[in-house]
Amino acid sequence: MNRTVIRMRADTSELDAFAARVGRAPSQAESQVSAALTTSAAHIVTEAKTRAPVRTGFLRGSIAVVPIGRLSVSVGATANYAAYVEQGTSRMAARPYMRPALEKELPVLKSALHGIAGVVAR
């Protein structure tokens, strides 16, 4: 079975120094960052499922969060046609559902991480 996972990359250059501080920070800060990532990922999944076009429900049902590491998660859809719906084709207009969900949640996540960074910097 061929699976397509939509992968999105964000410029994290601003967060490099923060990540270094979290590496030296108490485990409480690390758990706060992990909780913020998990919460935001869940919000992205919920929003993407709301925005995803539904014919059979397979695409919507394939949207999920996969933990990658201590401070990393992946949100995507495993339906084999997910990327075609998101990005469109030469014969079908794009019907984005994942990127708008990410863009809606990103400011909330950044705010949470800045708050945690402020506590870590003290």
| Whole-number percent of the chain with pLDDT over 90 | 52
Is residue 20 pLDDT above 70, yes or no?
A: no
pLDDT, the chain, mean: 83
pTM: 0.80
Predicted local distance difference test score (pLDDT) of residue 1 = 47
Q: Using one digit for the tens of pLDDT, what is the confidence trace for 64-117?
A: 998 887 788 889 999 999 999 999 999 999 999 999 999 999 999 999 988 887
- Range 48-57 contact pairs with CB under 8 angstroms and sequence separation of 24 or more: 48/75, 48/77, 48/97, 48/98, 48/101, 50/101, 51/96, 51/97, 51/100, 51/101, 52/77, 52/85, 52/97, 53/85, 53/95, 53/97
